[in-house]
Amino acid sequence: MSEYATKQLDRAGDVDIQELTIISAQGKFLDVKDYLSELNIFEDIFSPSLYGNMLVQDSRNLIKELPITGDEYIVVKFKTPTINASISKTFRIYSVTDRSIANDLNTQTYLLHFISKESIIDTVKPLYRSFEGNIDQIVGDIWTTYFQSNRTVDIKNNKINFFENLTQLFILNSPKNKIKYVSPGWTPFKNINFCASKSIPSEGKACNYLFFESSKNFYFTNIEGIFNSNNTSTNSPLNLGKYFYKVTDVEQKSSAISKLFQISSFRVKKTVDHLVNYDSGYLANRLITLDFINKEYKAHDYDIVKKFNTYAHSEGENAIPLFSSDTVRTPLSKIKFYPQQPGLHTSVENNISEVMPEIYGNRLSNLLELSNFKLIIDVPGRSDAEVGCMLDFVYPDISPRDETDSSKTNDDIYYSGNYLVTAIRHKINLLSYNMTMEIVKDSLKRKNEQDF
């Protein structure tokens, strides 16, 4: 979490738009901040890149004069006043839609759609080549070979300058296993995601690796590593702090910074659906390996009910599952076949097919666990927030109170707790900055020793 300066916010949701510039394919550039109606930037922990759109209110016919054809760069930089961290990105415009002209015939509006530059590169880079070595080395090599560039653009003295610092990929909790395979024309993003699906962590047990871009960096990490970092450090940079939901703002005199942590609205996107869990393979699943060399097959059953305490969870050591210990389950609900060729690649011991029994059920259950309990919250914008962070959501207990009963807490034990931020919509206009965040948790907090 970023440090705050001594100067306070005037109002929660204030924004300082430092740069909003379109650079045309011909090298022309124009500050379009004054034409901004609304800017949306989307980040998702299950997406390899950022994307967004900008609604432009154009009274100068910029779309013709610049011109804007859908092949331009857009430089975006903004921050929350008093917060050190800013969001500074250069995107590629790929489409212009929803163009309409006002009744005065002088003003038009249109929507510019943009995406990270890396996604454009990814679409034109099919890879037909072999890869061999430690997974973190392969991922790092793909990144530096195809993506690392001077992405950030600065406009000064009517000149376009590319910063010397290169875009970085942060590999957290490096995988311990090696692999060897041939890419059959997969794009670089798909190769990195393939590596993520075949990774065994060097620390911890969960094989829930993901590759994604946040508003700050690109990451290759497993979710368990994020949970561990948050649970072992009270000052973890991955922790956004404690957010409160209140029906009304009873603290009218509270500071602007404290109001950053007030949730204006929240809605339940999904809670545990046991029928889905019985059928999806989350509770139990089976991998059948077919050994083409030795003409053998073997069934490998996985049971998350028995394995739950093996992994780190959002609630740390106090975590209890969102299912009961005697819940109905069978590994036959989800069966996958996987071919094995042991010894096929003599230079790599225990290659992909040979370690899949260790990965498949583990990864399937741990990723499905992230879809069990989802909330959507609306909060004032913060330029230090990014997906992959965690927050403590405090929801009030609305049950009747007995003043003589000291055992009751002020928090709802079901909705309150530690959540992982899996998606953010940054919504900015000239006057305000707000965020809609998707937050998930994979467990409840243990209150008593007799809890599961």
pLDDT for 7? 45
- Inside any domain, residue 338: yes
- Inside any domain, residue 331: yes
pLDDT for 268? 95
Is pTM, for the whole model, over 0.85? yes
- Inside any domain, residue 285: yes
- Inside any domain, residue 301: yes
Q: How far apart are CA 191 and CA 141, in angstroms?
A: 11
Q: How far apart are CA 177 and CA 354, in angstroms?
A: 11
Q: Which domain holds residue 30?
A: 16-117
pLDDT for 6? 40
- Inside any domain, residue 106: yes
> Where does a domain end: 90, 117, 144?
117
pLDDT for 1? 39
Angstrom distances, CA of residue 370 to CA of 88, 377, 420: 29, 17, 9
311 residue type, one letter: Y
- Inside any domain, residue 208: no
Q: Total domain count for the chain?
A: 2
Angstrom distances, CA of residue 228 to CA of 232, 234, 375: 6, 11, 22
pLDDT in tens, the chain (452 residues): 344 444 457 888 999 999 999 988 887 888 999 999 999 999 999 999 999 999 999 988 888 888 888 889 999 999 999 898 999 998 999 999 999 998 777 889 999 999 998 999 999 999 999 999 999 999 999 999 998 876 666 666 666 666 656 788 999 999 999 999 999 999 999 999 999 999 999 999 999 999 999 999 999 999 999 999 887 655 566 789 999 997 655 555 578 888 999 999 999 999 999 999 999 999 999 999 998 888 899 999 999 999 999 999 999 988 999 999 999 999 999 999 999 888 777 677 788 888 999 999 999 999 999 999 999 999 999 999 999 999 999 998 877 766 666 555 678 888 999 999 999 999 999 999 999 999 999 999 876 644 44
Virtual CA dihedral for 306, 309, 312, 318, nearest 10 degrees?
A: 140
> Where does a domain end: 335, 364, 393?
364
pLDDT for 282? 97
User: The domain spanning residue 42 has which CATH number?
Assistant: 2.40.10.10
- Inside any domain, residue 24: yes
Count CB neighbours of 79 within 10 A: 22
pLDDT for 3? 45
Asked if residue 73 lies in contact with residue 155, where contact means CB atoms within 8 angstroms, the answer is no
Residue 185 backbone zone (phi > 0: left; psi -120 to 50: alpha; other: beta)? left
> Where does a domain end: 344, 364, 384?
364
- Inside any domain, residue 46: yes
